[in-house]
Amino acid sequence: MTRKKVKLAFMMNNSSQKATFRKKRKGFMKKYEINKLCDVLTCAIMYSPNKSQPDAWPDHSEMVEMELEKVNKLEKGNRELEIWMAMNHFIAGKPLNDLQFTDLKEMRRMIEEKLKEFEANIKSWKEELAKMNQLLGAQPTVAGEKIQNVMQMVPWSMWDVPTKSS
């Protein structure tokens, strides 16, 4: 169903102007979904003839919150990299003298997580291997036996089929 064409014209009635502006501003400021859907930074600044300060979206508190989330994520990533580098230095024979107790606890936690991942991978590989072995070593089923019997009854094999070069 299509909408009827809207006639764009200046509104003479001041109260209807204000009401329409309020409605359109609310709807426009709700368009934050484009941030999530397209993964792009967006903002909007809307001036009003009735206000001295413009409306801004996202507001300052939302921007600070988004920046804090990014900073926390980066700090966590950097922390993990520092611990992995310390582990690599230890494996290379360098002492762990510079690390504090909390660093060692974090290192232990990371090693345990990796061990769990490896164990899960090994378990899934063993299950896949068992399935393949079961398929390869399984006896033919009734349907499989029928197919084999039919193949034995056919007087030729695929090697006996003449080709163009023959």
Q: Is residue 121's pLDDT more than 80?
A: yes
With a pLDDT cut of 90, the percent of the chain lying above it is 20
State the pTM of this model.
Answer: 0.44
Weakest mean pLDDT among 14-18, 121-125, 139-143? 139-143
C-beta separation of 28 from 46 below 8 A? yes
Quote the pLDDT of residue 144: 52
Q: Is residue 162's pLDDT more than 60?
A: no
Weakest mean pLDDT among 26-35, 68-77, 82-91, 96-105? 26-35
Quote the pLDDT of residue 124: 93
- Tell me the average pLDDT across 16-33: 79
Quote the pLDDT of residue 112: 94
Instruction: Kindly list the domain boundaries of the chain, sorted by start residue.
Output: 19-58, 63-137
Quote the pLDDT of residue 139: 52
Quote the pLDDT of residue 157: 47
Separation between Cα atoms, residue 11 and residue 158, nearest integer Å: 85
Quote the pLDDT of residue 146: 56
Gyration radius from the chain CA atoms: 35
The overall average pLDDT reported for the chain is 79
Quote the pLDDT of residue 55: 79
CB atoms within 10 A of CB 87: 16
Burial of 58 (0-12, 13-18, 19+ CB in 10 A): middle
Give the Å distances, CA to CA, from 57 to 17, 34, 47, 98. Answer: 22, 13, 12, 46
